[in-house]
Amino acid sequence: MVLFFYNLALLSILVAGAPWWLWKMASTHKYREGMAERLGSVSRVKSQIKDDRGQPILWLHAVSVGEVLAVSRLVGELDRAFPEFRLLISTTTRTGQDLARQRFGADRVFYCPLDLPWAVRAYLNALQPRILILAETEFWPNLLSGCFRRSIPVAVVNARISDRSWPRYQLLKGLWRPILGRIGRVLAQSETDAQRLRALGCRHDRVTVAGNLKFDIRAAAEADATRLLKTLTYGLRLVVAGSTLDGEEATLLGAWPRLLDADPNLAMVLAPRHPERFAAVAALLAQSGVPWIKRSDWHSQPETSIPPISPGQIVLLDTIGELASVYSLAAVAFVGGSVVAAGGHNPLEPAQFGVPIVMGPHYVNFRAITEDLLARGALRIAPREGLGSTLIDLLQNSAAAEAMGERARQVFDQQAGATGRCVEALRELLQAPGAEECPS
């Protein structure tokens, strides 16, 4: 009955929002790509699995870029642990799709269907997965119910309920309790996440704290941007500002003259979080009067003809998937989404390289990680008006910055191991048919 009312509400929303969606599809490529797949077209998925020699399917769903990055090592470990299976990965967003194709190969990546009964049914019939693995908390009632009807076990890895989403989940507890109670295994990031998931209806004996998969992610290969920047910035010190949001680039540009006064031998790499903002940030840089260049311009030039980066110049990193590696070059890193009230982004990417990290006061989406780093003196928090001063302090106090970066690396290394725990839990679930069923 709950599912009936959910589908009724979903249908009403789709009908009411149809004009807006049609307009967005007509005006932007973002919403047009993959729409047929999202609505239930399985032709591309069938072509992907036709030559798999009958291997059973493991389906892993990672919503967007952050989740794809989080499961990157897990995908490789699952390939090694279960060679008899074919692992396929779905995403929801276009940017997640692009990154997943780069990381895992286009022949096993597809768009997740919208949570419409006929679309979900088409994919479950085509894939007949032995298990569905969800990254973080991508709960969709029709997808989960469809798996349960077919006795397909469901597992959640890197599970979390953020402070921001927790009140919304509580309001809809009546919807979630009968669904979440049938999930086979939930591997939570922290004890707080585990407690919240149990309160929403996950069975207590099926929820364990496995840790955060992002502590296991290391830049496996040097990105092309990193290799080029090593040469082009020889003799310079780099400030790397990653995952920035609207308003943060302007703050950094406002502080940039002060940073150059403190150290004229600086350059900056500026990496906006969302690709759809690359053009807007480029326009902001063009208006600023600061010398700058787009990383994407290097694609069309022979490497020997690319001019070196000048002191004071800014590189706009308008590519996907290179930021984590570029952090390795930073004298100091700013992790964005944190000066504005957006919940912050992942400070572990620079931490793995022993880079001193600065964030703003808004880090609710990465509270456990950030507070762990703060407790160890491995990260500094700066409000908008103090961002420039904090960066300058770290740039001028090299010994303190180096020690701070080393503490960040230690935190990263000590927290590793979630990937192995997830693999073992998934192995147990695959070997225990019927684990997704409700208790009698």
Task: State which H helix or E strand residue 332 sits in.
Answer: strand 330-335
Q: Side by side, which strands form the sheet with 131-135?
A: 109-111, 86-91, 57-61, 131-135, 154-159, 185-188, 207-209
- Three-state SS for 189? coil
- Three-state SS for 319? coil
> 367 near 361, Cβ under 8 Å?
no
- Three-state SS for 363? coil
Residue 353: closest CA among 268, 264, 226: 226
> 370 near 337, Cβ under 8 Å?
no
Task: State which H helix or E strand residue 288 sits in.
Answer: helix 278-288
Can you tell me the distance from the alpha carbon of 108 to that of 90, in angstroms, rounded to the nearest whole number?
8
Start-to-end C-alpha separation, the chain: 20
Q: Which of 67, 138, 322, 349 is catalytic?
A: 67
CA distances in angstroms from 257 to 23, 262, 288, 362, 404, listed in the order given: 43, 9, 11, 25, 25
Residue 112: closest CA among 76, 138, 84: 138
Can you tell me the distance from the alpha carbon of 121 to that of 356, in angstroms, rounded to the nearest whole number?
48
Q: Mind giving me the DSSP string for 388-401?
A: HHHHHHHHH-HHHH
- The phi, psi pair for 374, rounded to 5°, reads -65, -40
Can you tell me the distance from the alpha carbon of 327 to that of 332, in angstroms, rounded to the nearest whole number?
9
Is 303 a residue of the active site?
no
Q: Looking at residue 328, what DSSP letter applies?
A: G
Burial environment of residue 290 by CB neighbours within 10 A (0 to 12, 13 to 18, 19 or more): middle
- Three-state SS for 234? coil
Can you tell me the distance from the alpha carbon of 354 to that of 411, in angstroms, rounded to the nearest whole number?
10
> 215 near 233, Cβ under 8 Å?
no
Residue 418: closest CA among 216, 219, 186, 217: 216
- Residues labelled catalytic: 67
